[in-house]
Amino acid sequence: MRKIILSLSLLFAFVLFQNNQATAQNLKIGYVQVDSVASMMPAYKAASSELEGLQKVIQKNLQGESQKFQARQSELQQTAKTQAQQEQAQQELQALYAALQEKEKQAEERFNKKQNDLLFPIYEEIREAIKVVGSENNFVLILNELDGTNSSYILYSAEGTDVTDLVIKKLGL
């Protein structure tokens, strides 16, 4: 009985090993350069241009607000002679500075929202194209070669696993 169990165990282990070996040989993993694909898309170029314009407007507005703050600061420093006037000027400057910081925060939030609104559909289109490429070409996994910080998530890749060109072709670029 022990010999039968031992024989069956060995047979099971051998079959399992063979199955894992065959499965590992059939795994197809690729990577794509998502940012590179995005930069080729006309919608991305238009979105980037719009975001650059918005950033210039925001910077100009904030620069104007900063200049107003500095002018008021100079004015108050020159006119505040008594201790009470200086304290009142300090309070006013603190309030103006807090308002300036709030405007900067709101401008940043506005820019980030616009960036998300413009870029999300573009990256969603790329994501869908990657899904189709993966399915059509029997990939088990497709990784992004670079993230927004230019840090690669690929530690090793064999030649021929870059599917960027397939994604670009799927998008018709």
Q: Are 109 and 58 in contact (CB under 8 A)?
A: no
Q: What parts of the chain have a pLDDT lower than 50?
A: 1-22, 155-156
Q: pLDDT at position 158, please?
A: 57
Cβ–Cβ contacts within 10 Å for residue 133, how many? Answer: 22
Q: pLDDT at position 173, please?
A: 85
Q: pLDDT at position 153, please?
A: 64
Q: Per residue in 37-83, pLDDT tens? A: 999 999 999 999 999 999 999 999 999 999 998 998 898 888 878 88
Complete domains list, the chain, with CATH: 24-171 (3.30.910.20)
pTM above 0.85, yes or no: no
Token duo for residue 98: 């807090």
